[in-house]
A and B are shown apart, each in its own frame.
Chain A
Amino acid sequence: MTWLRLHRHAFADALRRLFAQPVASAFSILVLAVAISLPVLAAVALQSVGSAASSLETDPHVNIFLALDASDEDARRVGEALRSNPEAASVKFISKTQALAELRSTTHLAEVLDSLNGNPLPHAFTVRVRTTDAAKLDAARDAWSKLPKVDQVVADFEWSERLAKWIHFGNTVLATIAIVLGAAVAFIVGHLIRLQVVSRRDEIEVSQLVGATASDVRRPFLYHGLSQGALAGVAAVGLAAGVSLWLGSQLRALTSNYATEFNVIFISPSTCTAVIAVAALLGLAGAWWAVGRELRRFAPVR
């Protein structure tokens, strides 16, 4: 009971201190919120780009062009070889005559094509592949380019691989930023708590003289740091949500002219909770560091 009461008193004391100087508290919480919201916004950006990329990359396929002198018999043999590959989900053959007809109907090149003697287009295959694993794709591409009469193997998903690598790099940058700004949050809270400790020096001294233990003295400051961190976490999530909403509407206006729709995807509720929890813990860590440092400096018993 006594233990619970001590914690309740410490928590009440911390909140009282926080609201005793509402403007100063609001400013420091805002500073912390801005620092925390930066990695949150970076995460939102990465998540949105990643999701947009994956929606484009619905149909990974490889185009295989045969040599111009390849016969129908050559094409049949290549087709068989392609179909027997386990990575090929489906194989579509486009004969040179088919390709020419398509070109004639979809472009205005009919006259140019008529002026040529013969068909300039090769036989081609479009293979939809099952895997997105880079190593397997490379292996399949190698095997197919070695087939007789195959001239070129073009995989048009290379850009998405490259994008995936960039997103991976982005995640690394994000983690680094999060760690640096997290440390900044702990130090800012620590500094604010240190000022509190110094300004309450007399109270701490008298408390210790009448029998407060080190943890009795530490307790309200730890709650102060914890609540400051948690409030900053809530403010940061709110700030990031506001910015994301606004940017999202701007982006939709911009991309409405394009076929694809790009959406800003905000972090999930569980991630929001985690952000607030981590902010609270950083506040706690900062307070712990600061109080420990200051208490050692003016211990009453020598």
Chain B
Amino acid sequence: MIQFSSVAKRYEGGLEALRGVSAEIASGEIVAVTGHSGAGKSTLLKLAAGIERASSGTVVVHGQNVGALGETALAMLRRRIGFVFQDHKLLFDRSAFDNVALPLRVSGFAGDEIGRRVRAALDKVGLLAREKAMPVALSGGEQQRLCIARAIVNRPSILIADEPTGNLDADYAKAILELFQSFHRVGVTVLLSTHDEAGVDRLGCRRIALASGTIAP
């Protein structure tokens, strides 16, 4: 489903986030990317989601070589991948409902279909009662779940989450990880990054450990 072959990513200014990373995530698998901050977890996830391009090496997602895709094809690939951002990237000028509806509006869904899917996604993360709330009125955990609802509203076959348990207390983090576990159980390929080793242990999933931009031995 997702395949990294000798992938390197160098940012402008010389920062080398990844060096020669090779890894593979099978369809329907749930994988945790672990490592300290600055190990390259976010970069690896963004490469898998077609949000960034590798400096060298190849990233293949859904059988497509991401590096070779044009702008439009890349946008189309992104529609098939749900991404939960570390900084949420919610829009504060619109309601929870409209935040979740954004990917569907971008894809050109009809109004009634949008309503159905958005409510299903909000229900899934337990925010159905808050659909009219503005993001500022939501707690940190609720904002996180809203971001997850937006990531799954397109019913993607790949769900990628960057530090979804980052600033949450232990109970809340556990609930979020269980949520991802439930997506995994219905066949979604889940790739998430975390530095919460205990959480990953509880999840009992395969891990890709990164250290300073390479796979840790």
Contacts and interface: CB of A to CB of B under 8 A. Distances in A.
Contacts of B110: 5
B91 A206 contact: yes
A216 interface: yes
Given A3-B108, A9-B108, A214-B71, A207 B102 contact: yes
A247 to B, nearest CB: 47
Contacts, number: 63
A209 B52 CA distance: 10
Interface residues of A, number: 21
Interface in B86-137: 89, 91, 93, 102-103, 105-110
A59 interface: no
A6 B108 contact: yes
A203 B52 contact: no
Of the candidates A6, A202, A211, A214, the one having the most CB atoms from chain B within 10 angstroms of its own CB is A211
Interface residues of B, number: 28
A286 B78 CA distance: 30
Given A209-B78, A211-B75, A9 B105 contact: yes
Given A209-B83, A210-B102, A300-B51, A202 B78 contact: no
Looking at chain A's contact residues, is the secondary structure mostly helix, strand, loop, or mixed?
helix
B74 interface: yes
Contacts of A135: none
Given A300-B51, A301-B52, A302-B53, A206 B76 contact: no
Interface string B141-173: 000000000100010000000000000000000
A74 interface: no
A87 B105 CA distance: 74
A208 B89 contact: no
Contact of B91 (A203, A212, A302): A203
Contacts of B75: 208, 211-214, 216
A213 B103 contact: no
A212 to B, nearest CB: 4
Contacts of B85: 209
Interface of B: 12, 50-53, 71-72, 74-79, 83, 85, 89, 91, 93, 102-103, 105-110, 150, 154
